[in-house]
Chains A and B, each alone.
Chain A
Amino acid sequence: MTDAPSKLTTVAKAAAVNPLKSSQPLGAALAFLGVDNAMPLFHGTQGCTSFALVLIGRHYKEVIPIQTTAMDEVSTILGGADHLEEALLNLKKRTNPSLIGVCTTALVETRGEDFAGDLKLIAERRGDVLAGTEIVLAHTPDFAGSIEEGWAKAVTAIIEGVVPQGAPARVAPERINILPGSHLTVADLEAIRDTVEAFGLEPTILPDISGSLDGKVAERWVPTANGGTAVEDIRTMGGAVHTIAIGEHMRGPAEVLKARTGVPYTLFDTLTGLVATDRFVALLAEISGRPVPARVRRARAQLEDALLDGHFHFGGKRVAIAAEPDLLYAMARFFAGLGAEVACAVSSTGSSPILEAVPAAEVVVGDLDDFETRAEGCDLLVTHSHGRQASERLNIPLMRVGFPIFDRLGAQHRHTALYEGTRDLVFEVANIVQAHHVPPTPAELDPFRDHGDTHVGRPQTAAH
């Protein structure tokens, strides 16, 4: 595995062609949806809200509760404080959420208002009506960042808004905080919870979309996030012995939590892969003082076997990956760790320090068009569903990861982390590769094929 610093290239183009990014407020909304009985509120026009909820709905196949302050032309010019206030009061009256997560959009940020000030005034004026509902604010203009940044900002806003400042009266030795990155799936969170609990520890996962976006059929209609981290548990996160943050973009929230409450944290840059999971499991054993449970040891043995069986299908393969920084890093590490070459790495944004560590010669900050032009001749494309056009045109199979995955079912229940997740990923990749194996034709193997102008071969890739 090469961990040499890689070169970051930003493509100078006036137009993004086939965007890789989803917007920052969308990422924030996803995080807010991981809090029980919460309601994300976009401060902006209703169109942005509609697009975000439709896209999230297409991924999770769920009704997604997101509301809008419904700014119109007039309020855009005059200022949106009234709309914000009205929206909060209406939401309180209609759905009585435990938390309203305000996500600003490009429109209101372009006008540049004092949203925090507005919220404070509203809280002072209408405190009686709004009592019992936490209101937190994330600055998430669409002209910056992407899902990861929006997600991290929302988590930070929740911590700052809900967790009290100062060391708690009591520290519970079995409680730990988990701050998962936006790239982890519902199934990943469930596996993490199970593993943590197997050590007799009590995790508070923030945000916990495995409670709310797990696709259950409930017996009644719930207009807000149905499941997720309880606000009460968030309030007492300061009483945990340790915080585990997963993904570089969760460093910020972990720092804020530490600064407020003194809870130390450990950051895992990825939880995909044998070595990364070993470190995670070892940390849990250390915190709990208990031996590693048999079940976890068995999962590790299964992963070892999967790695042995699967590595044939990775060695020498050229892989093209386009994703948000932390997911890009996790995937690149996964492929490089099995002997594949990350021949093309495209990141949605360029601000994350983790990009330096991506095991690829170059990391391009760009869109799926940059991805498509660079991925030619690769054996596998790895990105979200929008990569399907590139896959069709290049005739290279696509492995769907990240968000959005709208043309396949079950994205939320896919394992990508810990021993189980790595094992499943190995199988998935190996199966895609096997399904696309094209037996050679005589012409392709003809030793004279490159002599003269009768070249008919496929692009040759590096040998195993």
Chain B
Amino acid sequence: MLKDKIKAAFNEPACPTNRAKAAKERAKGCAKPLTPGAAAGGCAFDGAKISLQPITDAAHLVHGPLACEGNSWDNRGSGSSGPDIWRRSFTTDLTELDIVTGQGEKKLYKAIREISQRFKPAAVFVYSTCVTALIGDDIDAVCKHASSKYGLPVIPVHSPGFAGSKNLGNKLAGNALLDHVIGTHEPDDVGPTDVVILGEFNLSGEFWMVKPLLDRLGIRVRTCVPGDARYLDVAAAHTANVTMVVCSTALIGLARRMEERWGIPYFEGSFYGITDTSESLRRLAAMLVERGAPADLIERTEALIAAEEARAWARLEPFRDRLAGKRVLLNTGGVKSWSIVAALMELGMEFVGTSVKKSTVEDKMRVQILMREEAHAFEGMAPRDLYAQLKSGGADIMLSGGRTQFIALKARVPWLDINQERIHPYAGYDGTVELVRQIAISLGNPVWDEVRTPAPWDNEGRLTDRHVSHFTMDDDSDAADPTFAARHRRKFANSRVDNTDPEYLAHHRKKFAGRDADDIGDD
């Protein structure tokens, strides 16, 4: 059954990669076998958790031995405007005894009870992991039973890590929402300008830079999944009029099936970069009007865009001098590569390369058009190669996620986090200004000059020419004698006091008059 679910998740007609494949190839799914001893990256469980955990009033319970949750909790910075249940970590922490005696399901059931009684969450998401999938725990049955018994939604998420990558996990999370959550709540305040945003994680609270723009236009975000979401709002997502998909690799399948099931049209957009933000607002307005929102929404949107764009460009202007000509290496799949590229190129920055590992075919085309032939797109680089490129001065700054952070830093190249651990919010018009500001700050930090200055000695510790002598050679006769003693003698030659000088002695005596060496400090 798990197999079917995974296959279904991969069989995504809206996925541009899939669209480009022949039917036979598509049927094989897109799981690439990993190379033992040369693989990196998260698992499906990781992906599923990422896509659901920012639903802030729910408890997220990980069913498995300790490692899956114990090694990974509290490692992402989504913003919550209210509840903090989602930040707590819950796991059944199975022991060997639980596993051999087959107590897994029972422990899971009890765990749900404990959590529901003590923390009163709006819902409980239950994640299966490798071991519990392997031993065949029926989490569907346990969730169903617990749900009716304790009167709250308990949602099974089938996400064993061995099923595949993080990316697959995102899709499995979407399935869980579609199978068990969306459509289960009918709100009484449905309106013509309701929208759903999918694949927006509200990292560092950055969706809060965008939401006020929508508020100003009267566009209501029914729910933003998963960033700062509340369970009931997600459950009512089917009442929206338009879906915007922000991170398409994560939840595009969910958007498509919401269209199928409830007739909600969707589009892919981005809130990174000025042009893309405007374009997204335009699309939202146009699609809402088509679906019955007041026609003046379009006009108002254009006015807002004009004002905000002008303001953003004015604020970016002071950075142009500092950033023009600087070369950027973009190594990410997290934030839409082309959204950032467009904004920075307008400021005269150059791109020496971009990773398109997680980008769709469409993304790649846009990157190519933007960067023309000068820069090259690569499919992800081995750390050693990345290091070599940076070390040889291949870029002035790298923008990437935390995984490659230390590669840049060890090569003594400025680095800026534009992935999930970033602490600065980069969305919308203000976010673009913030991103540019952070790049300028990073590039301009005087620390780079210091750490690139070689030590004044060689590998054996012998002083090199880079060493600046502290001794000034002003006496020609002594300068011929290179020994330390000679240089020292010369340095202090002029400062010696003649202790036969009666004036000096008088001064000295006065200074210590009345003091006995034994009680110095006691007066």
Contact = CB atoms under 8 A, between A and B. Distances in A.
B150 to A, nearest CB: 13
Contacts of A142: 65-68, 70
Interface in A20-56: 21-26, 41, 44-52, 54-55
A386 interface: yes
A51 B134 contact: no
A46 B110 contact: no
Nearest to A68: B39
Interface string B39-78: 1111111100000000000000100111111111111000
Interface in A91-140: 91, 94, 105-107, 110-111
A445 interface: no
Nearest to B410: A217
A18 B115 CA distance: 12
Interface residues of B, number: 72
A394 to B, nearest CB: 14
Interface in B19-47: 31, 33-46
Contacts of B67: 23-26, 48, 51-52, 105-106, 142
Given A50-B46, A221-B384, A19 B69 contact: yes
A337 B114 CA distance: 38
Given A19-B73, A73-B163, A86 B111 contact: no
A223 B131 contact: no
A15 interface: yes
Which residue of B88, B93, B163, B402 has the most chain A CB atoms within 10 A of its CB atom? B93
Interface stretch (A58-66, A277-285, A410-418, A425-433): A58-66
A141 interface: yes
Contacts, number: 211
Contacts of B107: 14
Interface in A274-294: none
Given A55-B72, A61-B406, A90-B37, A50 B42 contact: yes
B162 interface: yes
A55 B76 CA distance: 12
B161 interface: yes
Contacts of A72: 31, 33-34, 162, 164
A383 interface: no
A46 B39 contact: yes
Given A14-B107, A58-B75, A389-B74, A83 B36 contact: yes
B371 interface: no
Contacts of A76: 130, 134, 162
B34 A46 contact: yes
Given A19-B69, A57-B406, A94-B37, A14 B114 contact: yes
B17 interface: no
A110 B131 contact: yes
A61 B40 CA distance: 18
A88 interface: yes
B161 A21 contact: no
B134 A19 contact: no
A222 B92 CA distance: 38
A18 B70 CA distance: 8
Contacts of A88: 37
Contact of A89 (B3, B37, B162): B37
A90 B92 contact: no
Contacts of B35: 70, 86, 90
A22 B39 contact: no
B203 interface: no
B71 A52 contact: yes
Nearest to A76: B162
Contacts of A55: 71-72, 75
B455 to A, nearest CB: 11
Contacts of A51: 42, 46, 67-68, 71-72
B65 A106 contact: yes
A363 interface: no
Contacts of B68: 47-48, 51, 142
A47 B161 contact: yes
A202 B20 CA distance: 65
A16 B383 contact: no
A312 interface: no
Contacts of A105: 67
A55 B68 CA distance: 12
B406 A63 contact: yes
A294 B34 CA distance: 58
Contacts of A86: 35-37
A17 B90 contact: yes
Among all A-B residue pairs, the 6 with the closest Cβ atoms: A47-B43, A90-B37, A87-B37, A14-B110, A15-B111, A87-B36
9 contacts: A14-B113, A15-B110, A17-B89, A18-B73, A22-B71, A52-B67, A83-B36, A91-B37, A217-B412
Given A14-B109, A55-B71, A389-B84, 17 more contacts: A13-B111, A14-B110, A15-B110, A16-B91, A19-B69, A25-B67, A50-B42, A62-B406, A68-B37, A72-B162, A73-B160, A86-B36, A90-B37, A94-B38, A110-B99, A110-B131, A110-B134
